[in-house]
A and B are shown apart, each in its own frame.
Chain A
């Protein structure tokens, strides 16, 4: 006969229930895994949102996500030659050369923008960029004639992209630099990788480019602080970034060539090879990383009117915010920003 001690059983049941409850609660706790790595000459921060029970999976996935970003970097760089990448394509200019699919994708998306911006946005500026890099190293200001000469006669429209055979014919007088494209493109690649890895919520921050997947636990949007273009430790305000949205800022404030103590923006006009100083910063929200990257650069180089024409020609949802040189803000109606209390910029 089985004798059950009711009291002992009771205590056992209570402690088991408590343990199960605690375990369940621990595993269900929402966590954020954040990692930072230096890729594409910038700090890339990836945040994955999930449950404690998925912690190992999240950690594995985040490491692979960085690998995707590194792969895009290697495939797109103009500085180190790998088979089929931009540097190798530059070396094989003037002939058909087989390139990787990342390069095909970036070229076919970005080339139309060169024409759409009347040549202001230009992916064929590798030589011009190098003139400015050398200039800042030697403290020498390149002349307008020098930068103009570096542009060559061909325009990105002359690049032949043979998608079917993964080949590209680069004009002999041109070398490409995808500096204003690959970061945004990399974000898209990482997002599709994360979706395939069953990640529902993630935020990827590549400095001036951020893309959102899903939502954090307690809200249906991510809060993104937009940095003040003049004071590094201040923000203009916060923007709500929803699932699938990408935000990008172009400004002269955090990347520039320092020559004789003067700062020259790293965003160069494809028409002159010289920086433009139309705005302090331009911020764009759209639904693709690569488009946010290309557009923030393009709009930074165009007048507000020309920028509006460009936006109207495109099929993407686009919101834009300009910080003008006189510290006023011009923005599209749908660009919702909650200004911080100490913000000095006024709506025009």
Chain B
């Protein structure tokens, strides 16, 4: 009878480390791709360009500036809501609009071309009908 000869490939420590390293790298990349920090966020755009994204659950003041560094408006995140405290625009519609907190809600300052949007993937709301 012809018995197949089983050969064991000797793997040394270095090679095990390389494989484990690769696996860890793959796993972290997978997690990174698949899971980009959930939770309520505030997205601020100026002139259709992303200005910044902020945590809606962290009390903070956000100064929105133009390219020249001049302050366009001041906004405040507090108690999971954001509102505009002051703005250089004439109409002050953004200031009068008050607080927003629901996913998809926006505050728009048309003269300054600033759009503030709430993003919350957790509440599964795709749009707010005003």
Contacts and interface: CB of A to CB of B under 8 A. Distances in A.
Contact of B102 (A6, A15, A225, A239): A225
Interface in B86-119: 97-106, 108, 110, 115, 117
A36 B115 contact: yes
Contacts of B22: 11, 14-15, 18
A322 to B, nearest CB: 15
A163 interface: no
Do most interface residues of chain A lie in helix, strand or loop, or is the interface mixed? strand
A108 interface: no
A254 B29 CA distance: 45
Contacts of A36: 45, 106, 108, 115, 117
B48 A35 contact: yes
Interface stretch (A130-138, A142-150, A189-197, A204-212): A204-212
Interface string A250-263: 00001000000000
Given A14-B19, A15-B22, A223 B102 contact: no
A18 B23 CA distance: 8
A216 interface: yes
B9 A7 contact: yes
Given A29-B33, A37-B48, A216 B126 contact: yes
B4 interface: no
A22 interface: yes
Contacts of B122: none
Nearest to B109: A38
B124 interface: yes
Interface string A231-259: 01101001101000001110000100000
A316 B127 CA distance: 23
A58 to B, nearest CB: 16
29 contacts: A7-B11, A7-B15, A11-B15, A11-B18, A15-B22, A18-B25, A22-B33, A25-B30, A36-B106, A36-B115, A43-B115, A205-B104, A205-B127, A205-B128, A207-B130, A208-B129, A208-B130, A222-B126, A223-B125, A224-B126, A224-B128, A225-B104, A225-B125, A226-B129, A232-B100, A233-B81, A233-B98, A249-B129, A254-B130
Given A36-B106, A248-B129, A249-B130, 8 more contacts: A11-B19, A18-B23, A22-B30, A203-B126, A216-B126, A225-B102, A232-B98, A254-B130
Interface of B: 9, 11, 15, 18-19, 22-23, 25-26, 29-30, 33-34, 45, 48, 81, 97-106, 108, 110, 115, 117, 124-130
The 7 closest A-B pairs by CB, nearest first: A222-B126, A18-B26, A205-B127, A225-B128, A207-B130, A225-B125, A36-B115
Interface of A: 6-7, 10-11, 14-15, 18, 21-22, 25-26, 29, 34-38, 43, 45, 47, 203, 205, 207-208, 210, 216, 222-227, 232-233, 235, 238-239, 241, 247-249, 254, 283
